[in-house]
Each structure stands twice: as structure tokens, then as C-alpha cells.
Amino acid sequence: MNAGSGSRFVATPPPNLPLSERESAETEWSEEPMSPTGRLMEDVGVHIVAMLGLGIPLNLPVFRAGIEKELLPRYPRFSSIQVMDDSTGGKPRWVRTTVNLDDHIMVPKVNPTAVASDPEKAVEDYVAALTTVPMDRRRPLWDFHFLDFPTSKATSTMVLRIHHSIGDGMSFMTLFVASSCSTDDPSKQAAMPPPPKRTGPIYQRQPRPPLSSGKALLMWAFSYLVLAWHTLVDGVLLVATVLFLCDPRTLFTRADRGRKAHLCKRFVHRSLSLDDIKFIKNVVNCTINDVLVGVTSAAISQYYFRKSGDINTKKICLRSFLLVDARPVSSRQTCVSKVETGNRFSGLICPFHIALHDDPLEHVRRAKRLMDRKKNSLEVMLTRLVGEFLVKYLSVKIGAFFLRLFLTRTTIMLSNVVGPAEHITLCGHPVVFMAGSVYGQPQALTVHYENYGNTIEITLAVDDVQFPDCHQLLDDFGESVRLIKDAASLHIVK
């Protein structure tokens, strides 16, 4: 059921922007070409799903007013459609259009019996069914779905579905922060986590030491040789993956191995303690991302050995495509006066070893060594450049073909989005949790982490047929955090 009064809305830049930025926004937001990455997402058909638990019952007029006042003006692609531009050889462009909010806001009637018996499953079933419904391309490619009944974690649930060609997870996260306020102090904007030590992409060049320091200068020069070697190896593996290199078949491999995918994706999620993750990080002296990669390796290992009954402890190597935000980390900070649109992400191959370890901390240690190695490579930049080259100089069809081929030969998609450091109130509704993921990608399993306040929400997007016991797999992630934390505590005692 659509909600609202049938009003139409033309987005304009928010009035609180400085005059210079407002004039610039009015000029830039009229039309713009679609980026190569956006065109790839368009052709592959990847969509983003964000599930937000609300702390109060739905107040539709208030939320609707917030969408009109905050979200639409700040994100012009919410008010744009894709139009083929004959003057540029048929390349698509974003063109502004009038938005009828009734086409984008839904308050469905969910079976009351299903809600009464298991409200969490009712939400899951609704979102899973949503992945089988195509979006109307005559309108901007986004929609809100409000499930106005309580679950164990929230009073009501908002589901935002967006086509990935409009933007990526980080651009939408900064949009939410820019359009919201702190729940604890409504007079302030919510704070993003403090930036990491680096200020640029995953790899940064080391400053050259003084010429008088012979040994340091020699090590600096040697580091560039190592960088070149690692980049060459990673580049060869990327090409080999596209051409012939496949992961071994396991119960995580998509059943049809690259042919027609199952239409339905199911999303399950739960909260992990950010303090527990930080505790493990400090013990191992690594990053939060290293811990999450290690937890993922431990969880899929635990699930595999229980499910398969395999008693052979020989390591099995499965690879994931790890998404990496290519923006400077400074763009994640609190005061976001102008939200950056579009897709600015790349990726790298992140191997996981399915193995049994006497010390659960070994999963994190291995993850740290792996990520340290990846930080000494230009693989992220290379992946992005190759994708843009294929789209710009060959065609989007060829680029999408190679992307699908690459993804079908890896087993898992993995991502981690940095969220607000405190709870936010969005469009007049306090948000108690955020759980995001994607669908449309070839892999049968996608693991997505998203920190929010003092928690990290893990969301699994699974093939609904291949993983009927997906909640057991989700339990393995929580159990893996507990086991690794206990091992870290014993490590301190020793």
C-alpha cells in the first residue's frame, strides 16, 4: 500500500548550506554522467538493502517531511532517473525529475498471524520477497518500506532499497549522518568515529628519509621493490581469476556455479559488542578490520566442520571479494555539509582458510598478516583502474561480463562500513540498529559489518535455498567472537 497524499516534490539544495556551496550544488545537480562503476552496478543489477530499527512507532507524516526536507535535497540522485544520452554515444546520464513520494513510500499490510507468531521472521520474509521484485526504472531507483510492528530489537522497522548505481554504502552512511541529529543531544549532529591514522586510501607512500641516512634510504627504496612485486603478484591473480582460477567447491559455493542464480536472498543480522572487538584488537595489536576478517574465518570454519562432518584438518582456502572504500577517510567525519554521491569503492581478493586451530586467536593473527600484506600492494587501485578501463574504452557489457566472471570464481563477498559513533535520530525517529547488505551479486554468501554506536551489526545475505539454516551460521559468528575474546583474555593472563 502506498502512503501519502499524492504530492510531488522537486528537490532543491538544503537552505542551511553556505551560499557558495548552494549555488555550486544548484549548478552541479542538474545533470551528470553516470560513472564507470555506477554503470557496472547498473548492468550487473546490484541493489543495496538497509534495515533500520526504529525506537518509536512509525509517524508517517513526520518521516515523510524529513525525507522531503533532508534526504532528497542532500542526495540529488534520489530525484534523478537514468537517461541514455545520444550526444555521448548512448552513455547514460543522471537527469533530474519530479519525485512523487507516493511511488516510493510503502506501508505494507503484513499477515497479522505471521507477525504475532514470529515478528522477526515476518520482517525477514518481507525483505526476502522484496529481492524478487524489480524496481520501476521510470522512476528514481529507491523506495522506503515501513513495517509498523514491534520486534525484539525495535518498535518498528524501516527498509530502504536502493539500486547500487545511485551510490555506495559510505555515501548513504554520510547522508544519514548529515540528515540526522544525535539521539542524546538533538541540537547536535551525530558524530562519526575518529579517523584512523592514515588519511588516504588503503596504501600510502612512505615519506623519503633524509639523503644522509643511508640505511633508512636503502630500506625506503627496497620497500618500493616489495610494493611492485606484491602488486605484480596480485595483478596476475586477478587476471587468473577472471580467466580460469576458481575456488574449490564447498558448501559455501553457489550451487549453480555461475549459471542462473536463485532469485531470493535472505538477510539475517545480529549485534556484536564493539568493546569486545576492540579488546581483541588491542591484544593482537591489529585493526578492527583485521579482527572482523579473523572472526569471519573462524565462523565459516566452525560452520563448515559442523555441517560437513569433515574431520580432515587440512586447510581449505576460499577467497572473498573484499570491498574497500576509495575515499579519503576525512570525508567520513561529522560535519558533512555536502554529501558526496556516487560509487567510489574498489576491492581486493581476501583469502580465508577453513581450518581448526587450537588457539582461536590464530584466526585473527592470520588475518592481520594477510591485511598487512595487502596494504603493501596497489591491488585496490589496480582493480579500480581495470574496471574503469573496461567500461570507458571497451563497453559496459564487456566490463560487466568480466566482473560477473570474477565474482562467480570467488566464494564470499565481504564489506565493512563505518557508521556513527553514537545513536542517531533520522527524520524524527530514533534509530536503534542499522543492518545493511546487498543483493544481485553472484555469490551465495555475503558478509557485511556495520558499526553503530557501541555495537557492530553483522548482516548475512544468503541464498535462501542453499542456506536454510542461515541462523546457525549467524550463531557461529557470535560464538567465534566469544571464543576469540576468551582466548585473548587468557593471553593477557599468561
Take residue 240 and report the three cell numbers written for it. 587468473
Q: Decide whether 8-182 matches 214-422+441-493 in CATH topology.
A: yes
C-beta separation of 236 from 445 below 8 A: no
Q: Residue 260, exposed/middle/buried by CB under 10 A (0-12, 13-18, 19+)?
A: exposed
C-beta separation of 326 from 380 below 8 A: yes
Residue count (the chain): 494
Q: What is the mean pLDDT of residues 312-332?
A: 76
pTM beyond cutoff 0.85: yes
- pLDDT above 70 coverage of the chain, percent: 84
Amino acid 111: pLDDT: 93
Among 118-132, 335-349, 459-473, which is the least confidently predicted range? 335-349
8-182 has CATH 3.40.50.720 classification:
no
Residues 360-394 have pLDDT tens digits of 999 999 999 999 999 889 998 899 888 888 888 88
What dihedral do alpha carbons 20, 16, 418, 170 form, nearest 10°? -60
Q: Which CATH number fits domain 214-422+441-493: 3.30.559.30, 2.130.10.10, 3.50.50.60, 3.30.565.10?
A: 3.30.559.30
The yes-or-no verdict on residue 1 having pLDDT over 70 is no
Phi-psi region of 4 (alpha: psi -120 to 50; beta: other; left: phi over 0): left
Instruction: Tell me the residue ranges of DSSP E strands in 301-444.
Output: 316-325, 345-354, 412-417, 424-426, 429-439
Rounded to the nearest 5 degrees, what angle is found at the Cα of 443, between the Cα atoms of 479 and 312? 50
| Residue 96 β-bridge partners | 80
pLDDT band at 16 (very low <50, low <70, confident <90, very high): very low
Take residue 406 and report the three cell numbers written for it. 570474477
Q: How far is CA 63 from CA 69, 181, 187, 412, 429, in A?
A: 10, 14, 18, 36, 7
Q: End-to-end alpha-carbon separation of the chain, Å? A: 60
Amino acid 486: pLDDT: 94
Which H or E element spans position 450?
A: strand 445-452
Residues 36-76 have pLDDT tens digits of 888 888 888 899 999 999 999 999 999 999 999 988 988 88
Other Cβ atoms closer than 10 A to 162:
25
Q: Please name which of 222, 150, 220, 14 lies closest in space to residue 432, comparing C-alpha atoms.
A: 150
Residues 159-202 have pLDDT tens digits of 999 999 998 988 888 888 888 999 999 988 887 766 666 555 56
Amino acid 362: pLDDT: 94
Report the catalytic residues.
Answer: 164
Average per-residue pLDDT for the chain: 85
| Domain parsing of the chain, residue ranges | 8-182, 214-422+441-493
Among 25-29, 305-309, 395-399, 439-443, which is the least confidently predicted range? 25-29
Residues 208-223 have pLDDT tens digits of 767 667 778 888 888 8
